[in-house]
């Protein structure tokens, strides 16, 4: 008997089509993989991130990216419109103003015709074209993020990406670069009214940042 994917089972209880009846609060976990026509995928993955976990709650989110021997923790506060980053291996703290886009600017975005099945979930495919990178965002109506978490988030052109997907978090993201493609798959999620991580654990570091955008512990 064919097993129904776990993610699909979970989504059935959460999906709300059309406009969001509520915004997602909770945890989303991703697995990262790589493919290339030029290089072996294993050799690329050895020096890249393995996965990440995001925690969304009210006006904040926290992302933790895992590499081979390190983890990078970054917490965005929409009221400050700044992001506090922490490199566990280097004990380095950074504080960045997210009201400014320091990356590339979106050239165009469009919905690709057809329906797409990702891990048992029917998705739309939104394509975002940048000067040197193309994003393939596979989205469904189950995961709407509160607009206050992205409307002022100019860094890395995040606001353009979220507007293009109508505020939806992707089931899969394919980041197509010159020599390889990075694939980010949602593998688990948990909805919660209460925060699932201690978003206030870096309060003292926020104070240390002050007007300076980078400090070292």
pLDDT at res. 212: 46
Residue 161, domain member (yes or no): yes
* Upper half-sphere CA count for residue 21 (Cβ side, 13 Å): 5
pLDDT, mean of residues 184-194: 96
Spatial CB neighbours of 6, under 8 Å, sequence gap ≥ 6: none
Give residue 153's domain range.
Answer: 24-216
Burial degree of 173 (CB within 10 A; 0-12, 13-18, 19+) = buried
pLDDT at res. 11: 52
Q: Write the CATH number for 187.
A: 2.50.20.10
Give the number of domains in the chain: 1
pLDDT, mean of residues 191-201: 91
State yes or no: pLDDT of 39 exceeds 90. Answer: no
Higher-pLDDT residue of 196, 212: 196
Please state, in angstroms and rounded to a whole number, the distance separating the CA atoms of residues 173 and 28. Answer: 14
Chain segment 3-23, per-residue pLDDT in tens: 445 455 445 444 444 556 689
Chain segment 151-166, per-residue pLDDT in tens: 999 999 999 999 999 9
Strand 92-97, strand 108-118: pairing: unpaired
Residue 17, domain member (yes or no): no
Residue 30, domain member (yes or no): yes
pLDDT band of residue 2 (cuts 50, 70, 90) is very low
pLDDT, mean of residues 84-93: 88
pLDDT at res. 4: 41
Exposure string of 9-29, with b = 16+ CB inside 10 Å and e = fewer, is: ebbeeeeeeeebeeebbbbbe
Q: What percent of the chain has pLDDT over 70?
A: 86
Residue 8, domain member (yes or no): no
Query: Within its chain, how far is the Cα of 207 from the centroid?
Result: 26
Please state, in angstroms and rounded to a whole number, the distance separating the CA atoms of residues 197 and 23. Answer: 18
């Amino acid at each position: 008997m064919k097993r129904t994917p776990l993610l699909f089972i979970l989504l059935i209880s959460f999906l709300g089509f059309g406009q969001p009846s509520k915004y997602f609060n909770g945890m989303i976990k991703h697995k990262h993989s790589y493919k290339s026509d030029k290089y072996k995928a294993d050799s690329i993955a050895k020096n890249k991130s393995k996965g990440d976990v995001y925690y969304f709650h009210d006006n904040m989110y926290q992302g933790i990216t895992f590499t081979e021997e390190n983890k990078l923790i970054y917490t965005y506060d929409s009221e400050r419109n700044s992001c506090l980053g922490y490199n566990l291996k280097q004990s380095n703290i950074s504080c960045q103003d997210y009201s400014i886009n320091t990356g590339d600017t979106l050239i165009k975005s469009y919905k690709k015709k057809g329906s797409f099945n990702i891990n048992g979930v029917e998705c739309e495919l939104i394509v975002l074209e940048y000067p040197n990178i193309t994003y393939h965002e596979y989205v469904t109506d189950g995961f709407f993020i509160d607009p206050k978490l992205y409307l002022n988030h100019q860094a890395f052109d995040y606001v353009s990406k979220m507007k293009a997907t109508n505020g939806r978090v992707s089931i899969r993201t394919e980041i197509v670069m010159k020599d390889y493609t990075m694939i980010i798959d949602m593998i688990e999620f948990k909805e919660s009214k209460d925060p699932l991580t201690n978003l206030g654990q870096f309060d003292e570091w926020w104070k240390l940042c002050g007007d300076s955008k980078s400090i070292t512990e």
